[in-house]
Structure 1
Amino acid sequence: MTVTDQTAAVTTAPEIDSEQLRAVLEYYFDQDWTDGLPVMPVTESSLAAFLASTDRDPEEILFTIGHLNRSLSVRSAAINAALAGCKPEYFPVVLAAWEAIAKEPHPARGIWQSTTGTAPFLLVNGPVRTELEINSAGNIFGSGFRANATIGRAIRLGCINVFGLHPHKLDQATQGNPSKYTAVIGENEEQSPWPSFAVEHGYAEGDSVATMFVIRSVVHIEARHTMVPEQLALDFVNTITRSGALIHEYTSTLLVLVPEHAELFANAGWSKDDLRTFIFDNATRPRAELAAVGKDALSNRTRWRLPSDHPDSTPDTASTTDEPDTVRLLSHPSSVQIVVAGADNAGVSAVVEIFTLNPPREIPFSSSRIG
């Protein structure tokens, strides 16, 4: 839009009392009902359009955090979706996201209050991506798409306004990460050489599905240098097994591959399981390298990595194997999940650090059908 176009848009927009609008927004800020950015004013009439998009009882409880003695209802989810700037037709996705959250053990146990700065991360599959214009190709982790931005923001505002997860209060993140504003992507199913994430995990081809992860970081992998699948896969391995990421006995990861990288693997005859297995087999570190950074043993209580001379330390699992000097850092190939998303314009994929449970073989995500 040119400057002239923008001026025309302003002069033709409906007139409003800007001072009254600003007073409403300042009131919302004063009540701590925002994420630091302005929110949409909500009235009973605007809320009614959200509630009309579902046949769910407005008082139905979607998710509870027991130790906070707080619960989120369909109505409170709708209020926060409206505050976030969602369209009413986005609300079924927001509901499915909260249903997926309720299935995942970490949020109910307080992980969103953690000093590690975790955040909810939503993956959307199926026809709803195109119906709602959920971005799956190009700048997927960035700005510019209302559905991605506001659906994720609806979850964050629910965390703040229903569960009280305000920074410096119940949210104790040491640094946090940008996904604590919003983190939603669609899978680029049209350019993927493999079955979609949802189909891979048991849903039908025509199902619209919301899958929720708990994430700590997103690391981009710049890899335009090779057409050899093993070389590309080792780039991912080296990122997954970096010592700074190794806080637990085992780690889990979500690979978000751009179509170019997915095609490279597929053209070499690799399936998703082939890629998972290769990463699992190669995700090891010499014990001496872990000792150099003080992570060659485990905490008796938390299973976090510690120096072997720490008073709370215990030997890790690898110490009892035939190769005690080599430490395996993934518990199972299922510790690696794979999604195809992004533009087909450069070899830039991402390693998303996701949380799992002990035993770490448990799948580190949860899904719900939309609608």
Structure 2
Amino acid sequence: MSTTLDVTTAPDVDADRVREVLEYYWAKDWTDGLPVVPVTESYLERFLATVPHDSADVLFTIPHLNRSLTVRLAAINAAMAGCLPEYFPVVVAAWEAIAQEPHPARGIWQSTTGTAPFLVVNGPIRDEIGLNSQGNIFGSGFRANATIGRAIRLGCINVFGLQPHRLDQATQGTPAKYSACIAENEEQSPWAPLHTDYGFDASDSVVTAYVIRSVVHIEARHTSEPEQLALDLADTVRRTGALIHEYTSALLVLTPEHADVFATAGWSKDDLRQFVFAHATRTRDELSAVGKDALSRKSRWRLSSQHPDSMPDTASATDDPSLVRVLSHPTSIQIMVAGADNAGVSAVVEVFTLNPPRENPYSYSKIGARS
């Protein structure tokens, strides 16, 4: 239970000195706009001692910026973000997963689209460090979630120079640029957890990394019919505003209530995946109405067939050429369970994908394993 805020009960500190240090970090452009935790060498050593890596090991490189993130730099930014040292193995695994994801290295974090890194954590580590997997998963209130996600953002800023109005050219951005880290509610899921879909054991602790654009909430408290609920999800996945490339991808974050609707009806995760894939379509006329019925020859982004740079897309439903699939394959839909069981509220996380998509579009790393 929280206590009434009373700063007079806090340990005595030299508040003026603390503010001086915080202003120094701010003047150096080492923050995300919020205060950071000052870092000393002795405190940094506590972070480095939690991982089987040398401090000089490189975790991630962005070649066109000619900049690399080492374990030491990752630790500095994790400490500044407010992480406890025991969170650091998760941060390292997150960077290792990000290194497998091709978009950041190609500049997507600098894009006008305003993408952000998004982390999903599975396995025993969730309880060990207090990661939230239940109520308010996309909100505030949990140190591990907030600071692990923030450690990645501060690394983007301080190592790769991705400050807004500079190398980060996001037109509007997303709140996920501050922090985006959730854990799966494995205990209330009727299915095997997300990381087992990638071949890990349920007892493994794993971070999965995505590049995302938005999180769209699904209000569906009105039905216990799995087909109705699945159509609601498919309609959100196929919205035309999400169609940048020929295909899109999505992570379905189902509340336990919604997952139980499917499981009670005998649906597996793959049943839901196949259903959404089959129903995530648009007609040619609908795409034409919004000027997205063709592809650019140069960028392969969607545009009007009337544009001089246009070329036909190859996406179509196999049984009806007038329908266009917005997903390249059923695996373009990933499914997990998170949130409280107090209402029928789920989410579709819009995942940025390659065009054309690669065989395995997801990036993950086992926590505590040396890369």
TM-score of Structure 1 vs Structure 2, range by shorter chain: over 0.9
User: Taking structure 2 as the reference length, what is the TM-score of the superposition?
Assistant: 0.97
What is the CA distance between 1:22 and its match in structure 2? 0.3
State the Cα distance separating 1:6 from its structure 2 match: 3.4
Map 1:220-239; keep pairs closer than 5 Å.
220-239=217-236
> Is 1:303 aligned to residue 300 of structure 2?
yes
Following the alignment from structure 2 to structure 1, what is the Cα–Cα distance between the partners of residues 361 and 318? 26
Mapping 1:1-371, distance limit 5 Å: 5-7=4-6, 10-318=7-315, 323-360=320-357, 362-371=359-368
Shift of 1:361: 5.1
- How far apart are residue 247 of structure 1 and its match? 1.1
Question: CA offset at residue 217 of structure 1?
Answer: 0.3
CA–CA separation in structure 1 for the residues paired with 2:133 and 2:97: 20
Measured after TM superposition, the shift of residue 11 of structure 1 is 3.7
Unaligned runs of 5+ in 1: none
Gaps of 5+ in 2: none
Q: What CA distance in whole angstroms lies between the structure 2 residues aligned with 1:280 and 1:260?
A: 22
Report the more deviating stretch, 46-55 or 230-239.
46-55
> Residue type of the partner of 1:195?
A
Deviation at 1:40, TM superposition (A): 0.3
> Deviations for 1:95-153, whole angstroms, at most 9, x for unmatched residues?
00000011111111111001100000000000000010000000000000000000000
Q: Indicate if the aligned counterparts of 1:80 and 1:157 stay in contact, CA closer than 8 A.
A: yes
Tell me whether 219-228 or 358-367 shows the greater mean CA deviation: 358-367
Q: Alignment partner of 1:6: what SS?
A: coil
Whichever residue aligns with residue 223 of structure 1, its letter is: A
1:14 Cα deviation after fit: 2.0
Distance across 1 between alignment mates of 2:165 and 2:265: 50
Q: Partner letter of residue 315 of structure 1? A: P
Q: Distance in 1 between matches of 2:317 and 2:270?
A: 28
Q: Which residue identity does 2:5 align to in structure 1?
A: Q
- 1:13 shift after superposition: 2.6
1:7-66 CA-partner distances (Å, limit 9, x unpaired): 3xx344321111111011001000000000000011111111111112310011111000
The 1-side partners of 2:187 and 2:134 are apart by: 10
Give the match's secondary structure for 1:219: strand
Q: 1:251 to 1:49 in 2, by over 3 A?
A: same
Residues 271, 242 of structure 1: CA spacing in aligned structure 2 closer, same or farther, 3 A cutoff?
Answer: same
Aligned-residue Cα RMSD (Å) equals 1.4
Change (3 A) 1:320 1:154: closer
Task: Please give the per-residue CA displacement for 1:216-246, whole angstroms capped at 9, x wherever unaligned.
Answer: 0000000011111010000011111111111
Percent identical residues = 73
Q: Quick check: 1:214–1:365 contact (8 Å CA) kept in 2? A: no
Summarize the Cα distance change of 1:44–1:282 in structure 2 as closer, same or farther, 3 Å threshold: same
**Alpha-carbon distance in structure 1 between the residues aligned to 2:171 and 2:360:** 27
Q: 1:84 to 1:239 in 2, by over 3 A?
A: same
Give the TM-score normalised by structure 1: 0.97
Cα deviations across residues 140-173 of structure 1 (Å, max 9, x unaligned)?
Answer: 0000000000000000000000000000000000
8 Å contact 1:252–1:364 — kept in the other structure? Answer: no
Give yes or no for contact 1:355–1:364 (8 Å, CA) kept in 2: no
